[in-house]
Amino acid sequence: MDEQELLPHLFRTEFRKITAVLCKLFSIDHIEIAEDIASDTFLLAFETWAYKGIPANPTAWLYTVAKNKARNYLNRGHIFTDKVAIQVKQTTPESHEIEIDLSDKNIKDSQLQMLFAICHPSIPAEAQIGLSLRILCGFGIDEIANAFLTNKETINKRLFRAREKLRTEKVQIEFPGEAEINNRLDTVLQTLYLLFSEGYYSESDDAILRKDLCLEAMRLNYMLIENEQTNRPAAAALLSLMCFHSSRLEARQDENGEMVLYQDQDETLWNRELIEKGIYYLNQAAKGSELSRYHLEASIAYWHTIKADTHEKWESILQLYNRLLQIAYSPVAALNRTFALSKANGKQEAIIEAEKLNLSSNHFYFTLLGELYTDIDDQKAIQHLQQALLLAKTLADKQVIQRKIDSLKNA
């Protein structure tokens, strides 16, 4: 791997580690300083490696530079005087050397503790995702703006407000106490769920970015599973859900980049290894008495890894949606439940249930009605699909709807 490929790769994998460790050292008050030191480290690598070549151990080189930059800053700054010096004096009274621990264990602990700090209930979900992408995933501002379909200025303002809120709330970079960890873990899992969804259902045209978002959500979720304090059934269930969904990523787009609907996907493109991992984590999630929305959604996703259109499959999915709507109602789940109803009990019954929802501003609602009326009243189906086309926001959705309209008109 040459320098042009290596540096971006290392930035994605090591920036987040350096930043998390330094954030923990400096405290939440100085997140920007930690990010600046990490960024300066990579800037020096870019400038130095271009002339002197790539060092024998590039990661160790980055860690050494980051440590030296952090020590220099601490030694001359008020952070050292006011905070770190006291700790150093207490722990190593004979030494003025500042220990910056970039061991694997401290990196993992720091990232997890930073994840809990970022997912503080005082800041909105989109800001939690943005900070997670920046600090814990090593995404640049341009990439985050692309993921959210907005501009750099908006993202910078959003991250600035989030950092300020964390400061005013005096959020600590640490694991919550045992009594609080379940409540805080719920927020963390919700953030990872939304982060994964940003990738899986993203409206961005950047396919690589979408996959990266999914992979980063899975990586952070796996860190929860690895840690004894956070290895809870809900975390395993969410990782199972992510594995099942990710198994179909390669089959969801054709060679032209257009969306391929589930029923039209090439099953040979599904990733069997990820499906097996999904089954494993779903079994792990079954330990204990907890039943979360992630258990139910993962179970629904499992049934979608079986392509056969059997009554058992759709009846099982229908019953899972019935339970999901009881504990975590959402319009999307209600729509999906209605589609499962049509497969299990027939379209006529599903139409009655669907029209009760009356989600008149949701293009998925009219897309579903178009599907349900197909072969029953094709003209009505076209009318619903045309309404869906007016409401659809993304090119991918519009292409799928238009293809359906064309096929009905040409039938």
Interval 380-402 mean pLDDT: 92
> Where are the chain's structural domains?
1-101
Interval 217-234 mean pLDDT: 94
Interval 400-410 mean pLDDT: 93
Confidence of residue 405 (pLDDT cuts 50, 70, 90): very high
Report how far residue 252's alpha carbon sits from residue 55's, in angstroms, rounded to the nearest whole number: 40
pLDDT score for 95: 45
pLDDT one-digit tens code per residue, 141-196: 988 888 887 899 999 999 999 999 999 999 889 888 887 888 889 999 999 999 99
Pick from 130, 230, 152, 245: which is nearest to 188 by CA? Answer: 230
pLDDT score for 79: 56
pLDDT score for 76: 78
pLDDT score for 41: 96
Rg of the chain over all Cα atoms, to the nearest angstrom:
24
pTM for this entry: 0.88
pLDDT score for 231: 93
DSSP label at residue 253? B
Residue 164 tokens, joined: 């300020």
pLDDT score for 325: 97
pLDDT score for 272: 97
Spell 148-183 as b/e; 16+ CB within 10 A means b.
Answer: beeeeeebeebbeebbeebeeeebebebbeeeebee
pLDDT score for 94: 46
Report how far residue 203's alpha carbon sits from residue 64's, in angstroms, rounded to the nearest whole number: 40
